[in-house]
Amino acid sequence: MTLQIDNDKIGQLPSRRGDRGNVLKHPGLHNTVWAFGGGKGGVGKSFVTVNTAVLLTKMSKKVLIVDADLGAANLHTLVGAESTRYSLSAFMSGNVKDFASLVTKTPIPNLEIVSGDRDSLDSAIYSSKKIERLRDGLRHVDHDYILLDTGPGTAPLQLDILLSAEETILISTGEPTSIENTYRLMKCLFIRKMRKVMKNQKSGELENLLKKVFSTSSPTKIKKFGDIFFALHQLDPEQEEYLRAAMEHSGVSLLFNNCTHAEDARLGPLIKRGCQDYFDIETGYLGFIQNDEAVTESVRNRTPLVVHNGGAPAAHSLNTCLQRLLLNARRQAMAL
Handedness of CA 39, 69, 135, 165 (dihedral sign): negative
| Contact assessment for residue 102 and residue 115, using Cβ atoms and an 8 Å cutoff | yes
**Of the candidates 251, 312, 261, the residue with the CA atom closest to the CA atom of residue 51:** 312
- Tell me the whole-structure pTM to 2 decimals: 0.87
3-class secondary-structure state, position 326: helix
Tell the burial category of 218 from Cβ atoms under 10 Å away from its Cβ (0-12, 13-18, 19+). Answer: exposed
Paired with 249 in beta bridges are 282
How many angstroms separate the CA atoms of 241 and 244, rounded?
5
Please state, in angstroms and rounded to a whole number, the distance separating the CA atoms of residues 49 and 44: 9
Query: What pLDDT, on a 0 to 100 scale, did the predictor assign at position 121?
Result: 57
Quickly list H helices, 171-204: 176-200
Q: Report d(CA 90, CA 99) in Å as an integer.
A: 10
Contact 133, 88 (CB under 8 A): no
Residue 12 — very low, low, confident or very high, per pLDDT cuts 50/70/90? very low
Q: How confident is the model at residue 262 (pLDDT cuts 50, 70, 90)?
A: confident
d(CA 94, CA 130): 8
pLDDT digits (tens, 9 = 90+) for 124-181: 566 778 888 888 888 888 899 999 999 888 988 889 999 989 999 999 999 999 999 9
Beta-sheet strand order (sheet of 167-172): 103-105, 111-114, 63-68, 145-150, 32-38, 167-172, 249-259, 282-290
Residues across the chain: 336
Chain-centroid distance of CA 65 in Å reads: 13
Q: Give the C-alpha separation, 99 to 88, whole Å.
A: 8
Q: For the segment 43-74, what is each residue's pLDDT rounded down to a tens digit?
A: 999 999 999 999 999 999 999 999 988 777 78
Q: Cα–Cα distance between 196 and 26 in angstroms, integer?
A: 21
Question: Which residues are registered as beta bridge partners of 253?
Answer: 169, 284
Using a 10 angstrom Cβ sphere, with 0-12 exposed, 13-18 middle and 19 or more buried, the burial of residue 284 is buried
- pLDDT tens digit sequence for 273-312: 998 888 888 889 999 999 999 999 999 999 999 999 999 9
% of the chain surpassing 90 pLDDT? 41
Residues 247/216, Cβ–Cβ less than 8 Å: no
pLDDT tens-digit map of 196-216: 888 887 778 888 888 888 777
Helix, strand and coil percent figures for the chain, each rounded to 5: 50, 15, 35
Contact (Cβ atoms closer than 8 angstroms) between residue 283 and residue 249:
no
Domains of the chain (ranges, CATH numbers) = 7-199+250-335 (3.40.50.300)
Q: Which amino acid is residue 100, in one-letter code?
A: A
**Do 49 and 147 meet the contact criterion of CB atoms below 8 Å apart?**
yes
pLDDT band at 244 (very low <50, low <70, confident <90, very high): confident
Answer with the residue of higher pLDDT: 265 or 255. Answer: 255
Predicted confidence (pLDDT) per residue in 63-105, tens digit: 999 998 877 778 989 998 887 888 888 888 888 889 989 999 9
Q: Is the pLDDT of residue 111 over 80?
A: yes
Q: What is the pLDDT of residue 17?
A: 37
